[in-house]
């Protein structure tokens, strides 16, 4: 998919990759192809989460790390500084209006969760976050980061990330 002629990049969380592998294993070759092209990326924390398992997904992301630029390292001062800010703001809890929600660190991974990295990389780079995690969706919304679930990502990928049909008069 493109916006104003610029290819969109999708920053996936680990659950997006795990669910695609679980429900659409035949799509992993296509996922890898888009990673080679730079359309799909993962932050280094997602890479580490996936590598804790011993399966085909681990081998796939290791290839992304070794051969492509699909694993985003948080090695620049801009990314590190923004990650600190985002995790401080949304790690423990997220407040939307007066409603309190669970933050990134309330997941099974706790403070090792890569959720903040998905939001940070997407925000700094101007990419689309891909996550069904409520904390990622809430933080993305507050930070004005586009965020879609893995099912919508899969649908877009199957369409070849072609420009979505817009209603007449909508640009």
pLDDT by residue (tens digit) across 61-108? Answer: 999 998 888 999 999 999 999 999 999 998 888 988 888 888 886 766
Q: 167 falls in which pLDDT band (50, 70, 90)?
A: very low
Of 25-34, 99-108, 120-129, 143-152, least confident by mean pLDDT is 99-108
pLDDT value at 5 more than 80: no
pLDDT at 100: 83
Q: What is the pLDDT of residues 35-72, one digit of tens each?
A: 999 999 999 999 999 999 868 899 999 999 988 889 99
Q: What is the pLDDT of residues 111-127, one digit of tens each?
A: 667 999 999 999 999 99
pLDDT value at 143 more than 90: yes
Is residue 154 classed exposed, middle or buried when 0-12, 13-18 and 19+ CB atoms within 10 A define those classes? buried
For residue 93, count other CB atoms closer than 10 A to its CB: 14
**Three-state secondary structure along 20-61?**
HHHHCHHHHHHHHHHHHHCCEEEEHHHHHHHHCCCCHHHHHH
**Percentage of residues of the chain with pLDDT beyond 90:** 63
**Listed residue (52, 48, 42) closest to 72, CA to CA:** 42
Q: What domains appear along the chain, each with residue ranges and CATH number?
A: 2-158 (3.40.50.1010)
Q: 4 falls in which pLDDT band (50, 70, 90)?
A: very low
In angstroms, the CA 138 to CA 73 distance is: 24
pLDDT at 111: 60
pLDDT value at 3 more than 50: no
Give the rounded distance of the alpha carbon of 111 from its chain centre: 18
């Amino acid at each position: 998919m493109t916006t104003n002629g610029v290819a969109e990049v999708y920053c996936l969380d680990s659950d997006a990759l795990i669910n695609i592998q679980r429900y659409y294993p035949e799509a992993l070759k296509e996922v890898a192809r888009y990673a080679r092209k730079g359309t799909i990326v993962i932050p280094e924390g997602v890479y580490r989460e996936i590598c804790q398992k011993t399966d085909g997904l681990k081998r796939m992301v290791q290839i992304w790390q070794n051969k492509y630029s699909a694993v985003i390292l948080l090695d620049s001062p801009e990314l590190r500084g923004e990650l600190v800010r985002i995790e401080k703001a949304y790690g423990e809890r997220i407040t939307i209006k007066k409603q309190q929600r669970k933050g990134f660190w309330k997941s099974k991974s706790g403070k090792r969760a890569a959720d903040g990295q998905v939001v940070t990389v997407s925000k700094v780079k101007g990419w689309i976050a891909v996550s069904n995690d409520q904390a990622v969706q809430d933080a993305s919304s507050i930070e004005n980061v586009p965020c879609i679930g893995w099912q919508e990502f899969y649908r877009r990928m199957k369409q070849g990330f072609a420009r979505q049909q817009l209603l007449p008069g909508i640009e």
